[in-house]
Amino acid sequence: MIYFDNSATTKPYPEVLETFRHVSEQYYANPSSIHRFGSDAERLLLQSKKQAGQLLGVEPDEVVFTSGGTEGNNLAIKGIALQHQNRGKHVITTQVEHPSVLEACKSIEALGFEITYLPVDGEGRISVDSVQNAIREDTILISVMHVNNELGTIQPIDEIAKVANQYPKLYFHVDYVQGLGKVTLNMRQSGIDLCTMSSHKIHGLKGTGMLYIQKGTSLFPLLHGGSQEASYRAGTENLAGIVSMVKALRMVLEKQKNKFDHLVGLRDKLRSELSQLPNVYLNSPESGAPHILNFSVPGFKPEVVIHALGERGIFISTKSACSSKQEDESAILNACGLSRELSASALRISLSYENSKEEVNNCVSALQEVLTELSGVMG
């Protein structure tokens, strides 16, 4: 099997699964319980928060554990909007965000907020000037993803942060789900106020994530109840998921340090091989993230190609897994100005540090076979 859908989810590291099992068996007490067994669980929770902070270069109490990227994005956007609506009801984002950001923005539009959806260039990148020009007196939040989940485009986060930091009452949120472990982002130095991360994109388990909330940032919580996670997120903590996510974070950052060139090499080899196939158009920018490559094959339905490759044990995808079962056309490629022919025939290969050059070769060969077979059927 060749698994090339790592932007949708990653295979958990064996060590992460072992950590989850161990914590589930040995530390199953509620961290809020006052007995010694509960205190042991709480100690492990605090230790995990401390380790996460060290790995990310932030303070432990700036890390809030969530159920994943969708919750983190919703908490950041709705939390800021509801908490600070007395100062303004204007939010800035882009046309190429993940559905969890776009739908969260739509939800607060229904509450009377006004959203500016910034356009992007042909590579899916927004200009810093467009951000600057969109800021108004009543703007309270800017939300921009770091790495685009379909194209791999890297947004100019540091430059946007510099603009946002000129306005003391304006918050800056970054969706870092696709960039974590692949493209470095220094939250502290960048001046980011809120940053979303997800465990299952870094070889952790589904159902766990983190939201970095810079000290001094106040949010309206989405969940009310107990005082867990500094009252930002009520509910008994998923301790096994949290500990195993921190384990995955440590491991993927080590992989990034030692195998980054390997990942770039795989991506570049893919670009080179695919560019030589007839009727294949590369959509991802050359300066994009090292693990995502988007391409179009006009005249072929993406789901047909995906199923044909799947029968050969090769798994790739089309656009975001959160919207892949909707109509074929990619809204992100549309926003980049690509023709409907290209945006409706787009495919995405997303790599991990565990993939190999042999897998790249086999995938390209299989794709060539599939396109030749399908051309014969269509002909």
- What distance in Å separates the CA atoms of residue 133 and residue 129, rounded to the nearest whole number? 6
∠ Cα 59 204 43 (to 5°): 45
- Name every residue whose Cβ is closer than 8 Å to that of residue 30 and which is 6 or more positions away in sequence: 38, 41, 236
- Please name the residue ranges forming H helices in 57-172: 69-84, 99-109, 128-134, 157-164
What average pLDDT does this structure show over 307-335?
Answer: 81
Name the token pair of 286: 């050359």
Percent of all residues in the chain with a pLDDT value above 70, rounded to a whole number: 96
Give the residue numbers marked as catalytic: 322
pLDDT digits (tens, 9 = 90+) for 62-106: 999 999 999 999 999 999 999 999 999 999 999 999 999 999 999
Q: Residue 375: its pLDDT value, please?
A: 85
Q: Could you tell me the pLDDT band of residue 377, with boundaries at 50, 70 and 90? A: low
Name the token pair of 5: 């859908």
- Name every residue whose Cβ is closer than 8 Å to that of residue 351 and which is 6 or more positions away in sequence: 4, 6, 263, 266, 267, 270, 290, 291, 292, 293
pLDDT digits (tens, 9 = 90+) for 203-229: 999 999 999 999 999 999 999 999 999
Report in angstroms the alpha-carbon separations of 354 from 247, 282, 340.
17, 23, 34
Helix (H) or strand (E) holding 197: strand 194-198
Q: What average pLDDT does the chain have?
A: 95
Report in angstroms the alpha-carbon separations of 71 from 76, 85, 162, 246, 346.
8, 20, 26, 18, 28
Name the token pair of 340: 């409907």
Q: Is pLDDT at 239 greater than 60 in this prediction?
A: yes
Are the beta carbons of 211 and 222 closer than 8 angstroms?
no
Q: Which segment of 81-90, 141-150, 369-378 scores lowest on mean pLDDT?
A: 369-378
Strand partners, 142: 92, 172
Q: What is the pTM of this model?
A: 0.95
Are the beta carbons of 187 and 57 closer than 8 angstroms?
yes
Sort residue 98 into left (φ over 0), alpha (ψ -120 to 50) or beta: beta
Q: What is the assigned CATH class of domain 14-250? A: alpha beta
pLDDT digits (tens, 9 = 90+) for 258-317: 999 999 999 999 999 999 999 999 999 999 999 999 999 999 999 999 999 999 999 999
Residue 324 CA to its chain's centroid (Å): 15
Q: Residue 378: its pLDDT value, please?
A: 52
Instruction: Assign domain 2-8+259-378 to its CATH architecture.
Output: Alpha-Beta Complex (3.90)
- Please identify which residue in the block is written with the tokens 């930091």: 165
Q: Is pLDDT at 168 greater than 60 in this prediction?
A: yes
Q: Could you tell me the pLDDT band of residue 325, with boundaries at 50, 70 and 90? A: very low
Domain-by-domain residue ranges, the chain?
2-8+259-378, 14-250
Q: Residue 329: its pLDDT value, please?
A: 85
